[in-house]
Amino acid sequence: MTETLLTELATQIKIWGRELGFQQIGITDCQLEQHGERLRAWLDAGHNGDMDWMGAHGEKRWRPDLLQPGTLRVISARLDYLPPDTQPVRVLKDADKAYVSRYANGRDYHKLIRKRLAQLAQRIDDFCNANGMDSSGRAFTDSAPVMERALAEKAGLGWIGKNCMVINSGAGSWFFLGEIYTNLALPVDNSDETNQCGDCTACLKVCPTDAFVGPYQLDARRCISYLTIENKGPIPEEFREPMGNRVFGCDDCQIICPWNKFAKPTAERDFHPRHGLDDGDLLTLFGWSEEEFLRKTEGSAIRRIGFERWQRNLAVALGNGRPGADVIAALERALPEATPLVREHIEWALARLHSGRRRKRKIRRPATGSTL
């Protein structure tokens, strides 16, 4: 009887998930030991940079039952976020524009997905209560030591590509992930999404900073997303020119992926661009006061880096743009009140603009033996 109810519940979970706006739901077991071994090797190589929290929770990352006692299954959810009518390549090629990673154009996804997962968990609890079954669980979305991509792959939501993103053959990779850890022994989905990257290496070749050590291996210390978001200090000079106009994150390895021709625009209005952040003017954004920054990034993932790092990133982008008198004047006006961190990047930008040198759009990883 219980097995029949669990099979019925698994079917209902997928129906409820779609009703709540998720594009796909998969269910998997908790066997992640191989992924744990790869994570340990990645950490040992120092590829996490200053993200010490990546190694702070030990086996909890690949042992879901240690994070949430009693966990037997993981419900993995996919929510597409690609804004409609987005033109990332056009923005990247426009020296006057600021490129913000497409996931951050709209509302911060954490609260939205967590709320949807909580609603799904409540429906599961209601079903179990009505059928005399014990149910306990916990929802996550990019906010705890959870191996989201590994779980999504096991649950059949896609495969982990050479760019380390989860790729779905019918939807590309422009999506968020969320999970519910549950004590229910639900039937597990058998993935039909085998790795289909084949011989393609477009994502590895396009990376402006050569951040991929090899297929499926990212050195975060060289990744523009890490440098502009997670990195709290100065951006190393060697990476400033290849950053171009990317002021919050980088999508190059997704834009180039041929599977993203199947990506569909999101129906979630909360993920639609706010305040023109999908193609904002660099000078306008650099001219924001801290008050304006806080107001216009309210509810956005951008706010987490704070005003200082926002200005730091914009200064680099301006230094990589056109050497117009208005750009130079704006940078010079900002110098007197700039923090030491921002000042360093403004001075670099001014020196670059005055030099007239052509920008390096791409750099290569140093020869073997270098720490980076």
Residue 62, token pair as written in the block: 């690949």
Specify the amino acid at residue 98. A
Is 61 annotated among the ligand-binding residues?
A: yes
Using one digit for the tens of pLDDT, what is the confidence trace for 215-258?
A: 999 999 999 999 999 999 999 999 999 999 999 999 999 999 99
Task: Please say if the pLDDT value at position 369 is more than 50.
Answer: no
Is 203 annotated among the ligand-binding residues?
A: yes
Closest CA to 363 of 193, 266, 239: 239
* Per-residue pLDDT at 367: 64
* Per-residue pLDDT at 60: 93
Query: What is the rounded end-to-end Cα distance, in angstroms, of the chain?
Result: 57
Burial of 94 (0-12, 13-18, 19+ CB in 10 A): middle
Using one digit for the tens of pLDDT, what is the confidence trace for 141-181?
A: 988 999 999 999 999 999 999 999 999 999 999 999 999 99
CA-CA distance, 286 to 41, in Å (whole number)? Answer: 40
Active-site position among 65, 142, 210, 270 = 142
Closest CA to 76 of 17, 20, 130: 17
Task: Please say if the pLDDT value at position 372 is more than 70.
Answer: no
Please name the residue that has the structure tokens 């796909």.
24
* Per-residue pLDDT at 191: 76
Task: Please say if the pLDDT value at position 208 is more than 60.
Answer: yes
Residue 358, token pair as written in the block: 């052509």
The residues that bridge with 168 in the sheet, in sequence order, are: 172
Q: Is 252 part of the annotated catalytic residue set?
A: no
When pLDDT is cut at 50, 70 and 90, the band that residue 371 belongs to is very low
Is 164 annotated among the ligand-binding residues?
A: no
Is 128 annotated among the ligand-binding residues?
A: no
Strands, E assignment, the chain:
24-28, 73-80, 99-100, 137-140, 159-160, 166-167, 175-182, 212-214, 217-218, 246-248
Cβ pair 333, 180 in contact under 8 A? no
The residues that bridge with 74 in the sheet, in sequence order, are: 28, 181
Task: Please say if the pLDDT value at position 330 is more than 50.
Answer: yes
Is 207 annotated among the ligand-binding residues?
A: yes
Q: Which residues contact 280 (CB under 8 A, 6 or more apart)?
A: 97, 98, 100
Is the pTM value of this prediction over 0.75? yes
Is 221 annotated among the ligand-binding residues?
A: no
Cβ pair 268, 84 in contact under 8 A? no
Is 63 annotated among the ligand-binding residues?
A: no
Burial of 285 (0-12, 13-18, 19+ CB in 10 A): buried
Is 260 annotated among the ligand-binding residues?
A: no
Q: Which residues contact 146 (CB under 8 A, 6 or more apart)?
A: 61, 64, 67, 140, 179
Which of 53-57, 78-82, 193-197 has the largest mean confidence? Answer: 78-82
**Mean pLDDT of the chain, nearest integer:** 95
